[in-house]
Structure 1
Amino acid sequence: MNVIFFALVAIAFATAAWHQLRWDGEGEAPMAQLTGGVIDAAGGAVELAIALIGVMTLFLGLIKVAEAGGLLAILARLIRPLMVRLFPDVPPEHPAMGAMILNLSANMMGLGNAATPFGIRAMQALNQLNTRPGTATDSMVLFLAINTSSVTLLPTGVIALRAAAGSSDPAAILPTTLFATLCATIAGITAAFFFRRLFPLPAAPPTPPSDGDTEPQPAKDPFALPEEPTQETTAMPPDVDRPYPGWVSALALLGFLALIPLSVLYGQAIAPWIIPSLVLGFLTFGLLRGVRIYEVFVEGAKEGFYVAVRIIPYLVAILVAVGMLRASGALGAFVAFLGPITGPLGLPPEALPMALLRPLSGSGAYGIMASIINDPDIGPDSYVGYLVTTLQGSTETTFYVLAVYFGAVGIRRLRHALPACLTADLVAIIAAVIAVGVVFGSL
């Protein structure tokens, strides 16, 4: 991100300097326009973060109520039969299985950072089964491919940003995000199974011979799971180990798949009902599960407040860089060059920088998306606005995820992890273009 941030600023400065040297004295000087763009973008970033606080606290409060009521455990029990079949080399009762299920369940609910501790614990547990230290196993790669493309039922952060940008229908992207993430997940799984043939596992190191009757002691794994997992990052509901009967999971899967065509065909009619229904539904669920919904909601809302405040520096940095690009004329030239190529494919050039940056930097892509939907000439409820917010909710910061998860267990040989995850990202972009075009009338 350091290189990307510097490159954006340097390109903007060089473009404005070139225009300044050729300036004929009419109108505002290019460097003065660049200065105004910097100041306006910095102030706009803070205003955006302040507008985001209210909606972010609302959604994280609701998610906290659902989590306290056991919604994650219910989702985990539903998808466990499928996970057992996808990961036959992971014992069903191994800690890795429970951690992976909880990580994917949290991603489904759009919990973002809350899913990361479960993911790291899953990677640590998978590494206990790894007979080739430092090399990613097939299960590790498949887990990351599913993680980076995870089906998203509720992209809370993107909905909050759309609401802060003045969208008349912040939840309109739910059907398009659901379709795009489902396609990406299928592509990620398929790619992981396909590429594993091209990147076979190396031979396992030989086991050192034992000395007499003394059994060899394995080397201590510095990344091994602790004896007693800490409550903050690794606690798992006991119900995860008791999956629902197979027919219940099958019915749930069929019902979920039936939502895809319904949401795409009737997404615009359903969208106005979504947010009020979520508020009532989550509170009702928590109440029926014996949760003290008011206190728990307030506790989760506090997290939303701090999250919204913490992102202000990231928003200022990337929005200033994008504002400089726009004020210097570099962004306009880029759009004019790519327009004839990407426009007919359903990917307007305004959205292309965000699509390209998303796998590299989550904060960078988030800032570009924010600048696009807050642009008065575009807005959150335009085709471009729907597309970039769908892309944000349906793709992942792939390089960051690979670095964090593999770095947590000392994996140096990634094997087919990168091509599998990037395949899922590419399919997510294509599926998002198709879904937004169908739902919002471009196709």
Structure 2
Amino acid sequence: MNRIFAAFLLIAFATGAGRELTGTPGVMMAMSKAVIDASRAAVELALGLVGVMAFFLGLMKIAEQGGLLTGIARLIAPLMRRLFPEVPPQHPAMGAMIMNFSANLLGLGNAATPFGIRAMQELDRLNPHPGTATDAMVRFLAINTSGLALLPTGVIALRAAAGSSDPAAILPTTLFATTCATLAAVFLTPLFARFFPAPRIAPAPMSQPAQAQADEEAALAPLPRWAGWAAALSFVALIVASVRYGQIVSAWIVPSLIVAFIVYGLTRGVAVYESFVDGAKDGFQVALRIIPYLVAILAATALLRASGALPFFVALLAPITEPLGLPAEVLPMAILRPLSGSGAFALLADLLKDPSVGPDSYAGWLASTLQGSTETTFYVLAVYFGAVGIKKMRHAIAAGLTADLAGVAAAVFICSWLYPGAA
């Protein structure tokens, strides 16, 4: 990450200085303004997350004390054990990761972030090398950056506002693209790990209480098979309902989630108010902890855009990508998406409102699919790793960007196949 951050800044400065000295006045001034605005926006973004994180971390505490996270982890233990063999089956990290994945699947970005931070904190408790990302941390982060989602509500709403005849018609293309990106993250992350080995420092021996707890967790029996089938059928039913009644279902998700957690806590004898307040206390501390990481990423991205380096790179690639099905008007969004989610969303809004493109053209379909099926890789890196002080990211960036590339390729393929007449 040190080299990437330095490269962003040096490329931006070299590009901006070159343009300023060769007859494009005002570039350096624009870069100065951009870095200041981006730094301010990073702090505002982090502080804006305080309330959301405090609320959902409070709910997580209720679920944890009531045993819900352990129960969910036991329910899908076979799958999670294969994905995360380093994590004990009933460890709190399992439940937090499951809640994060579930929130992402349902398009609940605000809810997914607190769950993801909590999962990263729990994974860090198992980390024998503090400050260095473990294989489980990188795999969890790569799955997050692949943007696995069933219901991209924000993109659907944007398409509706742009006058699309069928705003939710991007659901199949989005599901295909995000599934391909997630599979790439799952299968390629172990390969990248071979080129970025963890430190060979002997980990500290596990204390007797911790060992006893791990043995007790490992000894817990899995739930009956019928429970797994019931959960799978419920999930399939939710997918069908989301696809068919997306906008109606999405409005019920967060309120239903709140009520479910509270009712579950009450039935399990949890002091829901005290537990909620105890969990919510972490929200402010986590937000403060991630501010430096957000400032670094957002400022570097803003400099690249203001200097003209990013537009130059887009113009360089456009002749290559257009024959492959990625038109020039969509390429800037595809490149910016891993760097800035808000920037990519703004580009999508402009594209869909453009009369020459529109939401129902091939470019509109493809851009909507890209926005709904990929995640802001560097933002996720900054927030999740920043929350636990990870500085040595190992293969996290390579895994995240590979998942992004797989998502872009899958989106181009499925949109070209399903909507050839719109190209």
Q: Find the partner of 2:134 among 128, 134, 137.
A: 137
Residue 44 of structure 1 aligns with which residue?
A: none
CA spacing shift, 1:259–1:378, aligned 2, 3 Å? farther
Q: Which residue of 1 aligns with 2:144?
A: 147
Measure, in 1, the Cα distance between the counterparts of 2:203 and 2:260.
52
Distance in 2 separating the partners of 1:439 and 1:80:
36
Quick one: structure 1 residues 77 and 434, their matched pair in 2 at CA, closer, same or farther if it must change by over 3 Å?
farther
User: Which residue of structure 1 lines up, in the alignment, with residue 167 of structure 2?
Assistant: 170
Deviation of 1:194 after TM superposition, in Å, equals 1.0
* Residue 374 (structure 2) aligned to one of 395, 411, 421: 395
- Give the alignment of 1:335-414 within 5 angstroms: 338-414=317-393
Question: In the alignment, which of 119, 122, 133 is matched to residue 122 of structure 1?
Answer: 119
CA distance in 2, matches of 1:242, 1:159: 42
Does the 8 Å contact 1:104/1:150 carry over to 2? no
Aligned residues: 326
Identity of aligned residues (%): 56
CA contact (8 A) 2:153 2:250 kept: no
Instruction: Determine whether 1:182 maps to 2:179.
Output: yes
Alignment partners' CA distance in 2, 1:100 and 1:155: 20
- Quick check: 1:425 aligned with 2:422? no
Residue 334 of structure 2 aligns with an amino acid whose one-letter code is: A
Show the counterpart of 1:156.
Answer: 153
Deviation at 1:77, TM superposition (A): 7.2
Partner Cα separation in structure 2 for residue 402 and residue 335 of structure 1: 24
Structure 2 SS opposite 1:130: coil
Q: CA deviation at 1:204?
A: 2.6
Match of 1:91 among 66, 88, 91: 88
Aligned residue for 2:296?
none
**Alpha-carbon separation, structure 1, partners of 2:223 and 2:372:** 29
160 and 10 in structure 1: CA distance in 2 versus 1, 3 angstrom threshold: farther
Any conservation in 2 of the 1:84–1:92 contact (CA below 8 Å)?
A: yes
Letter of the 2:96 partner, please give it.
Answer: A
CA 1:207/1:279 → structure 2, altered by over 3 Å: closer, same or farther? closer
Q: Structure 1 unaligned segments of length 5 or more: list them.
A: 21-30, 32-63, 209-214, 219-240, 263-269, 293-317
Instruction: Report if aligned partners of 2:153, 2:247 keep a CA contact under 8 Å in 1.
Output: no
Equivalent residue number for residue 111 of structure 1: 108
* C-alpha distance in 2 between matches for 1:146 and 1:334: 27
What secondary structure, in the 3-state scheme, does the structure 2 residue paired with 1:116 have? Answer: helix
Structure 1 residue runs of 4 or more that deviate by more than 3 Å after TM superposition: 1-4, 72-81, 205-208, 215-218, 241-260, 273-283, 288-292, 333-340
CA distance in 1, matches of 2:123, 2:251: 39
SS in 1 for 2:378: helix
1:10 CA drift (Å): 7.0
Contact 2:151 2:246 in 1 (8 A): no
CA distance in structure 2 between the aligned counterparts of 1:171 and 1:178, rounded to whole angstroms: 12
Q: Any residues of structure 2 matched to 1:2-401 within 5 Å, and which?
A: 79-205=76-202, 207=204, 245-246=224-225, 249=228, 273-275=244-246, 278=249, 338-401=317-380
Which structure has the larger Rg over C-alpha atoms?
Answer: 1
**What is the distance in 2 between the residues matched to 1:354 and 1:248?**
42
Quote how far apart the aligned CAs of 1:275 are: 3.9
Structure 1 residues 276, 205: closer, same or farther in 2, change over 3 A? closer
1:153 match: secondary structure = coil
Unpaired stretches in structure 2, ≥5 consecutive residues: 27-55, 211-219, 264-300
Query: SS at the partner of 1:134?
Result: coil
Inter-CA distance 428–276: structure 2 relative to 1 (3 Å threshold): closer
CA distances 1:195-249 after superposition (whole Å, capped 9, x unpaired): 11222221234659xxxxxx9999xxxxxxxxxxxxxxxxxxxxxx997644664
- Name whichever structure is richer in helix by fraction: 2
TM-score normalized with structure 2 length? 0.63
CA distance in 2, matches of 1:279, 1:206: 45
Superposed displacement of residue 335, structure 1: 7.7
Partners of 1:357 and 1:397 in 2: CA distance: 9
CA shift for structure 1 position 411: 1.2
Q: For residues 134-188 of structure 1, what are the alpha-carbon distances to aligned partners after superposition, in whole Å with 9 as ceiling and x for unaligned?
A: 1111111111111111421111111111112221211111111111111111100
